[in-house]
Amino acid sequence: MSRLRRSLLISALLVGAVMLVVGTWLVAARVQSPAQREAAAAPPAARPVTVAVTRGDLTEQTTILATAVRSENVTVAVPTPTEGQGVVTRSAAAAGHSVSSGSVVIWVNSRPVIALKGEFALYRDLYLGARGDDVRMIQQALADLGYAVSADGELGTATAAAIRELYRSAGAQSPQDSDESPTGAVAAEPAPSAEPTAAASQARSTLVLSASEVMIVPTLPAVLTSVPTTGTAVDGKAAATFSAQEITLTATVPPAIQARLTSGLAGTASLQGQSADMPIDVAVAQVNSPQQNDSAKTQQDPEEDADSAKASVILRSSSGQIPDEWVGRSDILITLNLSEPVRDALLVPQRAISADIKGVTSVLVEQKDGSFTQVVVTEFGCVAGTCAVDAEGGTLTEDMSVRVDG
């Protein structure tokens, strides 16, 4: 065999060997054993799920649309004296003058008739120890005037002292300082007991506020547009008329929202789509329960019935006045805080917080090496799955992450 043929044969054998090696490697790379396929299909090792801690305000709010309306004149009857008859003996305020809560409107039978802010007329005389919504209304009016009174619905010594001071500021003697109580007065019923105690007897005999000496006006201050003149007989027909000239906001809310609304609940009002305007602070003044329609009307007009099932809400400005140009507009956006906002707090998911059997709350904070440390926190409140918390000593900051799958 010639040298050339020998060289070609050797080269062919070498090329074949190389191709065999490469082919074997390719087959091995593409063909996997059952164990290899099972290992490749296995999911990766589970890693803890974490969420970054943030800082901000925790608020629970609801928004409703309201209409601005101007209040109408309110006519309030002059209460009839307990003697059964009376006469206006002196005028304390003239028509056209402003009357504020706590001021005297007129004098009947030489006794003052004091205007107080409230929702309904007094229906009984109030004695020491009396309880009820009427007591709570008077207490709220006194508190609004700056007296240190809690509106708890029970007429105690603090409320009695505030009423005595109210009479003193009006230049009159309070009923509890008089030697004689008005005739026909009904005392508060004492608590049931085997024998009446000295305190119960004293409470029954101490008249604090006579219903004939209070004129309840829904909105004060207000302008007195008409008032009985001196010499007018007070027989149940005499009345005074007040013009508040106040702009209020009215809205309707579904029952689910109504259940969360209480008198005094704070919020803001602004014209919808005009964020440039400064919002006005407002508060819920009154919540009226829905009036249900009869079944016949329900069958005839279910949509109207659904609207009637909503509650009406009246809101007033907390400071200043609602602008005149808002009157008649129904695009006023009301934002109400359903709970007290938590300002500038650390915010974490509610799922990140755990509590032990003693009620101690804590979170798991991720460390730089991937481990977790338990940090005790104080919880201030939760809204929609987010909680406001704090931890002592800076053990929890907004640049950390907490575990939520623990």
- Write down the domain spans for the chain: 3-41, 50-59+342-403, 61-69+246-337, 102-219
Instruction: Check residue 205 and give its pLDDT.
Output: 75
What predicted TM-score, i.e. pTM, was given to this entire model?
0.48
Greater model confidence, 65 or 257: 65
Question: Is 3.20.20.150 the CATH number for 61-69+246-337?
Answer: no
Confidence of residue 272 (pLDDT cuts 50, 70, 90): confident
Pick from 14, 79, 91: nearest CA to 235: 79
Give me 230's structure tokens: 């001196």
Confidence of residue 197 (pLDDT cuts 50, 70, 90): very low
Fold of the domain built from segment(s) 50-59+342-403: 2.40.420
Mean pLDDT score, 300-309? 53
Cβ atoms of 263 and 315 within 8 Å: the answer is no
In the predicted model, is pLDDT for residue 1 greater than 90? Answer: no
In the predicted model, is pLDDT for residue 241 greater than 70? Answer: yes
d(CA 368, CA 379): 25
Q: What tens digit of pLDDT does each residue of 50-59 get? A: 999 999 999 8
Query: Which of 116-130, 287-301, 375-389 bottoms out in mean pLDDT, i.e. has the lowest?
Result: 287-301
Cβ atoms of 248 and 288 within 8 Å: the answer is no
Mean pLDDT score, 219-243? 90
In the predicted model, is pLDDT for residue 187 greater than 70? Answer: no
> What are the φ and ψ backbone dihedral angles of 197, each rounded to 5 degrees?
-85, 165
Is the peptide bond preceding residue 221 cis, with omega within 30 degrees of 0? yes
Q: How far apart are the first and last CA of the chain?
A: 81
Confidence of residue 196 (pLDDT cuts 50, 70, 90): very low
In the predicted model, is pLDDT for residue 84 greater than 70? Answer: yes
In the predicted model, is pLDDT for residue 183 greater than 70? Answer: no
Give percent of the chain above pLDDT 70.
76
Greater model confidence, 45 or 221: 221
Helices (H), 218-372: 255-258, 295-300, 302-308
Helix (H) or strand (E) holding 138: helix 133-144
Mean pLDDT score, 339-366? 92
Instruction: Check residue 259 and give its pLDDT.
Output: 84
Fold of the domain built from segment(s) 102-219: Muramoyl-pentapeptide Carboxypeptidase; domain 1 (1.10.101)
C-alpha pair distances (Å), 215 with each of 88, 110, 207, 220, 270 = 14, 16, 18, 11, 34
Instruction: For residue 332, list its beta bridge partners.
Output: 66, 271
Greater model confidence, 94 or 7: 94
Instruction: Give residue 2's Cα distance to chain centre.
Output: 109
Give percent of the chain above pLDDT 90.
48
Confidence of residue 21 (pLDDT cuts 50, 70, 90): low
Instruction: Check residue 373 and give its pLDDT.
Output: 93
Query: Which of 15-19, 120-124, 391-395 bottoms out in mean pLDDT, i.e. has the lowest?
Result: 15-19
d(CA 269, CA 229): 41
Instruction: For residue 217, list its beta bridge partners.
Output: 117
d(CA 21, CA 283): 86
Mean pLDDT of the chain: 82
Side-chain-side CA neighbours of 104 within 13 Å: the count stands at 20
Please name the residue that has the structure tokens 């706590």. Answer: 102
Confidence of residue 278 (pLDDT cuts 50, 70, 90): confident
